[in-house]
Every structure is written in C-alpha cells, then in structure tokens.
Amino acid sequence: MTGSIWNLAWRESRTARRRLLLYMSSISLGVAALVAIDSFSANIIQSVKDQSRALMGGDISFNSSKPIPPAVDSLFDSLSRHGVAFARVTTFPSMAVVPRTSGTRFSQVRGVTDNYPFYGKITTEPAGRWKLLQQGPYAIVDPSLLTTLDAKVGDTLKLGFGTFTIIASVADVPGAAGIAEMLGPRIFIPARYIAETQLLVFGSTADRTVLARIPAGTDPDKFVKPIKTRLESQQVRVRTVTQSEMQTADAIENLSDFIAIVGLVALLLGGIGVASGVRAFVARKIDTVAVLRCLGASSGQVLTIYVVQAAAMGLVGAAAGVLLGVLIQFALPHVLTGFLPIDVSVSLVPSAIVEGLAVGGWIALVFALRPLLALRNVSPLQTLRRDTDADVLRMRWTDAPRIAVNVGLVASVIGIALARARTTKQAFAMSAATGMAILALVASAALLSWAARKGLRKRWPYVMRQGVANLYRPGNQTRAVILALGFGAFLVSTLYLVQHNILHRFTVAAQESRGNVVFFDVQQDQGAGLDSLIRAGGHQIVQTAPVVTMRIAAINGKRVSDMLPVQRDQRGRAGWALRREFRSTYRDRPAASETIVAGKWFSDSSLRAPKDTGEISMEEGVAKELNVKLGDVIVWNVQGVEIPTRITSLRKVVWTRFEPNFFVVFAPPILKGAPNQLVLLAQVRDERQVALLQRAVVNRFPNVSSIDLSAIKRTVDRIVERVSLAIRFMALFSLAVAIPVLFSAVSATRRARVREGVLLKTLGATRGQIARILLAEYSLLGLLGGLTGMVLSVAGGWAVVRYIFNMPFAPPLLPIAGIALVIVALTLLIGLLAGRDVFRETPIAALRDA
C-alpha cells in the first residue's frame, strides 16, 4: 500500500514539481550560506593545523624582548644534548637604505641562525639562494622593499652601520604576507652580522625568539611543562605549536560567530519563504485533494502524498544550496587574499555538506508541514460545492497536529541555534531574538490590518478603498508579506549596520590622527637634533613623548614573583600583563586620543614636585587585565630602581588612532631623570616630502626608525575595503534570499487575487484602476514591512555590535532609510509583477475556471 502511495505522490507531483521546487529554492541560499561558512572555516582550521609548525618555524617558541638570560641559555645547552635543536631569530625595526638609489624604507630586520626554519620552506627569487644567506653579509628581502626603494638583487643595503648585499628576494615564506608586511617589509640577514648594524643599543625595540625542534613523537605541551615556570620567571614567554593553533582559531571566532548568525537567519528566512510558497501550493491542490478524498483517500494518505513531495523537493532545494555553497567556498580565498594570516587550502568538507543537506532539508520540511497540515481538513464535499481557499484551509488553534508542528518548529530553531552557537546562552539569545522579531512582525501585520479596517473612509476613491480593504479582508496576505518582507529587510539592514559600525570606527579614527610620520628609538641626546632637522624642512612636530621601559615589581605590596600565573578566562591577574615590559611616558596633560573614564587627572601638587608615591594614569583595558583599580599601589622596576606609584585615574584610549599611545602615563616629576628614549609624531605634507625627510633622518641618525603612517593607513584602508566587500556580498546575498521569499509570499494569495481582478475587469474596471488598487495595497505593505524591519535591525545590529564585537553602536539613519525605500520599491515591483496575470487572463477563462 505504501508503495502505491509513493507512486501516486511521484506521479501527482508531475506538473507541480517545478513550482514546488521554486518555493523550496528559498531554502537554497540559506543552505548555501551555511555550507560555505562551515566548509571554509573547517578549511581554515585545518590549514592552521597543517601550517602552524611552518608558521612558527619550530615546535616551541621562546620569546623575550631582552637578550636571552645566561641561565636560560645554559638550559637550552643542556637540552640540546638530549636531541633538541635550537634556531634563533632576532627581529628589530630599522630604516633600510639603498645608497645607489638613495631610497629609504622602514623595515623589519630578522637576524636568523643557519638552521632557521625547522619547518616550512622559504623560497627565493632567484631560486635556491636561501642556503647562501649565511655565507657572508648578505640580505634576502621582501619584494616590496625592492619596489619601493627602486632596488634590485645585487644592490648594497645599509642597515644602521652595517652594509649588506641583497642576494635575492623572498618568493614564499610560510604564512601569507599581507598583514605582516603592513608595518614594513622583512629583511633576513645572518644572525652573526646583527652586531655590525649597532642598532641593538640600550632600550631599543627588539624581539628575540628561540625556536626549538623536539624529537619526533614528543608532545610539545608536555615537553615545556616542567621548564615553563622557570622560563617565565626570567621573562621568557613560551608558546607551543598547539597553543598558537588555538590562538589563530580564536582570532577568527568573532567573525565566524557573526557569520553563523547570518547563516541561521538566512535559513529561517528561507523557511518562511518555503512556508508561504507551500501555502500557495496547497491552495492549488484543494480540488485534487477533494477528489482523492471522494475516491477513498484517508487524511493520512493525503498528507503522506504531499509531505513526500515537499520533502523530496526540499531535499533538492537543499542540494542546490549545497552546490552553491561549495562554489562560494572555493571562491572565498580569492576574495580574501592577503587578509587571512595563512594560506588556506580549500577542499570539500563532507561533514559540512551532509549537515547543510540535513539542516536545509529539515527546515524546509518543518516549515512546509505547517501549511500542508491544512490539506487534512479538505472535505470531499468540495467536489460538489467549492468554498473559498481561505475557508477550506482554515485550521483551528487547538488542532493537535498543528500545535505539534509549531512546537517542532520552535524546537528545530533552538536546536540548530544550539548546534551552531558557541555557548548555550548565545543560542537561546539568538532563538529568543528571532522569536521576538517574528512576533514583532506578526504584531505589526495585525496592526496594519486593524488600522486599515478602522481607517478606511467612504469618501476615498474606489481604487484606494479596494486596495486598503485588501489588507484586512478574509484570506488576506498581510501577515505573510509583512513577515517575509520585514524579516528580509531586517537581515539586510542588520548586515549593513554591523559592517558600517565596525569599519567606520577604523577609518574615522585613522583620519583623526594629526600626524603622519612617527619617529621612534630616538636616544635622549638625539632629541634636539632631530627636532630641529624636522622643523628645518618646514614640517610640524605634533607630539614628542619620552619613553621609559619598566616592569611591574609589586602590586599592593605583593611581589610579582610571588604571584601565581592565572590561566585564560580565569579571574585574576593576567600573566602577560604582569610580566610584560611596559613602555610608559610622562606628561602633564591627557593626549587628544584619550579620555579619563575614572578618577582624576594628576593633582597640581603631584605635577609640581615628586612625592613618595607618585601618581599614574592607567589605560582601562590593561587595568582590567591586571585586576587593579583606582587607589591601588604599583611598584615599578625602572631599570633596577623601584618606584612606587598609586593609580589616580583610568583612561580610555582610541588605539586605532595612529598616534603614540601608552598603557601607563606617569606624573612627570617621578620619572624625570630616568633614562629614556623619545617618540616624535610629525605632520609632513606629501609622500615625496616624507621620503626626503626619512632619508635625511636616517643619514644623520641611523638608529632612528620612522614609519610613514599614511602608508599604513592605505594598507588598512585596503583591508577594510576587502572586509566591506565581503560583508556587502553577504548583504546582497541575503537580499537575494529575500526576493524569492517575497515572491512566494505574494503567490500564496495569487489565485484569489486573479479571480477577483478578473471579476473587476468583467464589471468594467480598467487596467489602470486594477494597477492602482494593487499599488495602494503593496505600498502600504512595503512601507510597514520595511519600517518594522528597520526598527528590528537597529535592535539586532546594536546587539551584534555590542555583544559579539564589543564595540559602541551608532545607527546611520540616512542609509537605513535608503534600504527601507529599496524594500518598498521591491515590494511594489513584485506586487505589480504578480498582478500581471490579472491583465493577461481573459474574464471568460477565469470565470469558467472558478
């Protein structure tokens, strides 16, 4: 018996398959989003796993901003007798000069020992030069350095007081260069020639990394465990390959959280589209079902026939979505080139594909079930006497299967949210927000119907009255259209709001910066000379700040060396902040890029003369990491001298503003006299002037580095551009989801509409009058749907920006209004397209059909 029903279901779907598939395609784009996102992030995570050794260059990295202490060196010596190999990389900034072209460029120099790297391959152009690097005073540089300095292989390169020969450019280093190169191109030199540059003087910025390769089969985490505390007490940071994997994965989590929500919402929107599409489908099937009932079909058999059809088409729709998702997955790396910190190798992810099929098929089925249930109630009597579609399909609220399907629907949404969100709380918040959005839309649809009924005035022209009356008459489409429209508008506009808020922050902050060239590593005795050199060129010095390096010795009387390191996510004082080297400054006024958020700026007395316990102002983020508050006492170790201070204010710092910013600012009298360096921020007119000034400075002060901030800003702009492109793509994508959904929503009541329109035509209504009736109805629907969607999106955007990205939120009202207008226009267009059938059909055909 079941076999025959399946046959019947298959045959009966014959002409309806295309239409049903069209409705089910609403789900496709949502599935495509899910599959693309899941597959691509799986690819990223796998790539991170595959490449983390190559990215790091070893199994374990030991890292310090000071020369490696002798005690640690002897520890390494003893380990190397047990089969552990070590390679060293010293990274420091320097101005690179090519005398032949007299070009200068801020660069990152990496002095490496001959066994670097242990993992991954560095290839060069011309090929095979990497192994020659150690044979003399040679340099291998990023290609961008050659371009900007107009240099070529074979040229002489000056770094500080050292002279090197460029023997090759880098063709490929593990990990994509994009962001790494932002601060300055890389220059690899042999470690033993670092001293010749004379750049590593007291207080200069440098990073010493020792990479270890441990015997195969040894777990890096277990290996470092016994020595970790000892090393950290010597201010040597230890990181293993597994830790760095986790960090990279964490870094992409925020973004993927956001995209996961978008995927879920797109899927739900698709579900709504399926529901209204299937409603239209069900209306067309009333007559067939009535005949089947006459011929002895039970309600269960009828339901089986159409559920089988819907499930099959839902699966096909989901499969199409999977295919599209995979295509997007393969396209993504091209869009994101230079933005991701690794080379992502793209491959099919079976679990994502199966999940996309299952989730998409299931959502399509659950959303289709709701309207399909109405077919059970179609009476065989309809063969003799046909009621209106709306009357036939009416269901009672108390209908048990209907309640069960509703519960199943809610459970499915929560279930999928639970499976996708990182925390249960987030999943429930997401589900609740979605539920609230739907409720708000249903409420506003009810409001519109109510207002249309109450507001209708007899004196209005007929077409207007008819159009408005369509909003509340029996079997109206107000709720279906408002739901589809509002949800679509909500999705598109939320994406826009989030993009706007995240990116706006970067660009505005960068533009506000008053200077564009920063000079650092300036020794105390060079300050005056540099100052006059800059001014002599007619440039302006915006800010000069002394920099004093220091570490925390004690907090509230407790020595740092006695404090237990605190793990991530635990309450307490973060290890990195306790052990880091602080580069602090002193000044008598807050800088333009910072605002006091707690306490008061330094008192007059503390500005005049040093006290026993000096006053400091701390950046709020680092204060939180250190778990300190106003009034706490911190003792600093400033190059051997202990200086007690009290926190008297907390500052909020706009870090994205390209200016020298500091975690800790001291009241001047305490630090005056401490050995320091200087940072200068200058405003220089154009690119050529910047190059000239940089060259002049490097000639006179080879140890002083300078960064052209406008160049960095351009790079940031490029990255921001990429991200906006990606988000705009998603917004467009959601709009693409919304269109078929809207079509489905409109087609649900199409038959009734055509019949009525044709009747009006028979009674003498002109095309124009019918068009105006539709116009009145759809513009009201579009306006209210768009408006509700906008209000919802402001709430949704605020929640996403505030809680996922932890940023302040400001809605840009004008563009949002623009989106609303586009939505209204789209609704009108779709409404009038749907109305085309009214014009096309002859009165006689429609009346005979009715």
Partner 1 sequence: MLIASDVTKEYMSGEQKLAVLRDVSFTIPQGAFVAIVGPSGSGKTTLLGLLAGLDTPTRGTVVLDGADLGALSENDRARLRGEKVGFVFQTFQLIPTLTALENVQVPLELRGSDGAVERARELIERVGLRDRGHHFPMQLSGGEQQRVAVARAFANSPRILFADEPTGNLDHATGQRIFELLQSLNSESGSTIVLVTHDSTLASRASRIIRLLDGAIVEDTGAPPSVPA
Using CB under 8 A as the criterion, which residues of the chain lie in contact with partner 1 when the complex forms? 1, 3-5, 7-8, 11-16, 287-288, 290-301, 379-381, 383-385
| 124, 511, 514 from 596: Cα distances, Å | 50, 22, 20
CA distance linking residue 61 with residue 57, whole number of Å: 8
DSSP 8-state secondary structure symbol assigned to residue 662: -
- The least distance separating partner 1 from the CB of residue 20, rounded to whole angstroms, comes to 11
> In the bound complex, what is the minimum distance in angstroms from residue 755's beta carbon to partner 1?
16
Cβ proximity to partner 1: between 134 and 383 the closer is 383
- Tell me the C-alpha distance between 39 and 562, whole Å: 46
Question: What dihedral do alpha carbons 830, 314, 14, 751 form, nearest 10°?
Answer: -30
| Nearest alpha-carbon partner for 28 in 260, 267, 262, 264 | 267
Question: C-beta of 383: minimal distance to partner 1 in Å?
Answer: 5
Tell me the closest approach of the beta carbon of residue 21 to partner 1, in angstroms. Answer: 15
Min dist CB 452 to partner 1, Å, is 24
237 or 284, CB closer to partner 1?
284
Neighbours of 66 (CB within 10 A): 14
DSSP assignment letter at 609: S
d(CA 680, CA 546): 9
Considering the complex, state which of residue 280 and residue 495 has its C-beta at the smaller distance from partner 1.
Answer: 280
- The distance in angstroms from the start CA to the end CA of the chain is 34
E strands, 191-257, are 207-213, 237-240
Q: Which is nearer to partner 1, 379 or 689 (CB)?
A: 379
Q: Which 8-state DSSP code applies to residue 472?
A: T
Q: Residue 6 CB, nearest distance to partner 1 (Å)?
A: 10
Which lies closer to partner 1 via its Cβ, residue 1 or residue 609?
Answer: 1
CA–CA separation, 821 vs 826, rounded Å?
A: 9
**Alpha-carbon dihedral sign for residues 554, 560, 563, 569:** positive
Cβ proximity to partner 1: between 288 and 689 the closer is 288
Residue 463 corresponds to which tokens in the numbers above? 């077409």
Residue appearing with tokens 């793209």: 346
- Closest to partner 1 by CB, 239 or 386: 386
Closest CA to 169 of 179, 190, 183, 155: 155
Q: From the CB of 396, what's the least distance to partner 1, in Å?
A: 15
Q: How far is the CB of 303 from partner 1 (least distance, A)?
A: 11
Task: Rank residues 11 and 457 by Cβ distance to partner 1 and give the closer one.
Answer: 11
Q: Beta strand pairing status for 207-213 and 558-559?
A: unpaired
Phi-psi region of 284 (alpha: psi -120 to 50; beta: other; left: phi over 0): alpha
Closer Cβ to partner 1, 9 or 421, answer by number = 9
Please report how close the Cβ of residue 387 comes to partner 1 at its closest, in angstroms: 12
C-alpha to C-alpha distance for 692 and 826, rounded to whole angstroms: 55
For partner 1, give the closer residue by CB, 290 or 670: 290
Residue 394 beta carbon to partner 1: minimum distance, rounded to whole angstroms = 15
Rounded distance, CA 263 to CA 760, Å? 43
Kindly list the distances between the CA atom of residue 310 and the CA atoms of 238, 315, 494, in Å, as whole numbers in the listed order.
57, 8, 31
The dihedrals phi and psi of 45, each to the nearest 5 degrees, come to -60, -40
